[in-house]
Structure formats: structure tokens, C-alpha cells
Amino acid sequence: MSEVHGRCEARFSAVRDAFEENFRERGELGAAVSVTVGGKSVVDLWGGWADAGTRPWQRDTLVNVWSTSKGPTALCAHILADRGLLDLDAPVAVYWPEFAAAGKEGVLVRHLLSHRAGLAGLREPHSLEQLYDWELTTKRLAATEPWWEPGTVSGYHALTFGFLVGEVVRRVSGLLPGAFLRREVTGPLGIDFTLGLPREDYGRAAELVHPQTVGPGEQAAAFGRMPPVAVAALTNPQTGVAAAGTAAWRSAEIPAANGHGTARAVAALYGIFAGRGRYGTHRILSPEAAERVRTGQGACRDLVLGAGFARDTEIALGLWLGGANHSYGPNPRAFGHDGFGGSCGLADPEAGVSLGYVMNRMGPRIADDPRKTALVDAVYRALRGDGPSRPGRGGARAGSGLMSADPPEPTSRVV
């Protein structure tokens, strides 16, 4: 049993119980969880190993959180919109003229944020080295033809989301989203989160470890069942644990997938949404702008991830709504984002709750990893004043967003 460190208010002891159960029963290796209620920290725990078993996870250990990065990236766009510098209902080409090519002159900024732009993946082969080239990747996205009629349905833009939203941020502000986030949010507020990872922080970074649960044959079969748009979104280029540990990945800016931070930092960033735009005494977004973030764009069976969900899902303006799947607790209007392998950021403005969960042992699910689900369930049990968790509680939630008998997920997925 890995030793758990940190603090947890007595009222939220169920969260500590669930966190310890993750190590004991759900294969956790190294992880951290942080919860705020009304802007106050009530849980801040960490434990386990930052590598395969020799380096203890510390209070300031960072880890690549994959698509949990999408929330902070979306925040950049919403800050610009709140200042009147970006119109979410304007065509993208107003800010990025080259984007109008190949029939995309009618694609709106809100379509980028809600994964409805039809650009879930590039059609031409795109290598990892090319992905690290911002100018090349955005040039190819501007030139490519949509996979479907933009605005009609969502198709998860696993990697392209960050380049699309990020290029609009750059065109409007003059800064890439990583620099914009640092200047406007994380720097002034002291939030330990970056898009990419500065070399001086390499020593604090946890090593990602993937469970060997999906064999090559199963992975090939899973890819074979995907429609072409899903293959493009999830495998062009191939990413994964090996890539994420390299200096090239860390030094690049991939705003949809290479954010690095602590659980405390994730809870703080999603806490801006939970606090209706406020972080402590700082106003980051107006209440109206913070509410706009979770404006639903229509529930549907997502063209990329749909087969992995038991029900239709709904993406708001940059984040996923909990909806009937209750992926972010009992409030269907709570919202957030899961990351490949299990990480999560959650915002529930009605309850005033934010949660950040980060880990280094990767799981194979698209979303709603059992470790995350256990922690979210425990938070809301504590808020309701329920008794302590029962042994083994907190696996796949009945009625959760993922079917219990999912096909194996390829290890290269970035979610």
C-alpha cells in the first residue's frame, strides 16, 4: 500500500478512502487529487510513485494530463471573447483568413470550441515531428477539407482542437495559448500548469506508465472497427506514453494534449469555471462569460468517440457536459474534461466544486476511468453527508458514459 500524503478535511474523508482504494484495488501507481468547495481547498492528497517504483510522488510532482489540457486552452479563447476581442459567432476566417479554404468560410469560432468544425484529423499523413511544428500543422489544417458539414454534429478533435483554437488565440492576441495562459492566468495567480514543459521542470515530471492490457492484435482490431475520421483523429500521428516522455514533445506546444500540472493546478483552473469566473479575489471571466462556457451545442453520437459511449454526449464551448451520463457528478450541468489514461478536471458551479485528478499509470478507457469515478462519487457523498464508502465502491458507475464492455482502446489515443 502506497503511503498517502497531504491534507483532507474530516468531512471529506470519503475522498481519502477512495484515493487509498485506488492504490489498493484499482492499480494506481502514482497520483494526486485536489478538491475545492467555494474556492476553499478541502482535499489535497498525493501518493505513490512518480516512476515505475523508485521515485516517490511529491507535493509538487507534475504530470502530462493529456486532454485535461483542453479546459485551460478553451479558457484562453473565452477570456478574449469576454474582452470583446473575439466573437464566438464570427467565422474563423475573420481572424484567420487562410482558414476559409476548402469550403470552410462558414465555420464559426464556436464550431472549433465544440468539436463541430469537421477537422477532427488531417487527411494527409502527419508525423510526430510535423505535429511539433506549429506553423506547418496550422497551415495544413487551414488548407484541409472538413470530414462532415461543419456545425451539424460533433467529432472529437483529439489533437487538432488545440491548434485550431490556439491559432485563433494567436491571431487575436499575438501569443500562442501557452504564453497567453501564462501571462493572463497562471503567472499572476501562481498556478503550477504549463502547455508543454519548461526544461527546468523536467526533474519534477512523473513518468507515464501504460498498463499492458491491450495486445497488438486487439489494438489492430479496434482500429479496424473505426470509421476513417476516427482513425485520422486518433492515429494521425501516433502518440502515446513513449512520445510524451521525450524532450521534443515537452518543448512543443500541443494545447490539446501536452499540458503539465499538479492536481492542485488542475483544480484551480477548473475552479475558475466553478467559481463563475472568479479565482479567490481575482476576476478572470465575467459571470456571463463563465456561464457561456457550458452552453450546450446539442447532444449527439460523436463521430469519433460515439461507439465508446452508452448514450449521446454533449460538448459545450470547450468542455464536456456531464448530462445524463453524470460523468462529472449528479448535476447534469456540471462540466469538465477527462484526459487520456484517466486524468480529469471538473467544475460544478451550482455546488461550487472543482476537482483535479492526475496520475501516471495510464488506463485504457476513453473517459470515466474507475479511479476518477470513485473520487467524484466520494466528493458528492461527502457533500450529501453520506456515510463512509463501502469496500470496493467506486468502479464503473451504473449508467456512466462508458459501456462496461467496451472494445479495447488503442494505446495511442489522446483523450
Per-residue CA distances from 80 to 88, 184, 292, 333 (Å): 10, 10, 13, 24
Four-CA torsion 269, 271, 275, 276, nearest 10 degrees: 50
Nearest in space to 126 (alpha carbons), one of 254, 258, 260: 254
Point out the catalytic residue in the list 67, 173, 327, 343. 67
Nearest in space to 45 (alpha carbons), one of 63, 65, 59: 59
User: How far apart are alpha carbons 242 and 49 in whole angstroms?
Assistant: 18
User: How far apart are alpha carbons 117 and 126 in whole angstroms?
Assistant: 19
User: How far apart are alpha carbons 128 and 211 in whole angstroms?
Assistant: 23
Four-CA torsion 129, 160, 185, 349, nearest 10 degrees: -150
Active-site residue 354, yes or no?
no
Within 10 angstroms of residue 11's Cβ, the number of other Cβ atoms is 13
Residue partners of 217: CB distance under 8 A and separation at least 6: none
Pairing mode of beta strands 4-8, 40-48 = antiparallel
Active site residues: 67
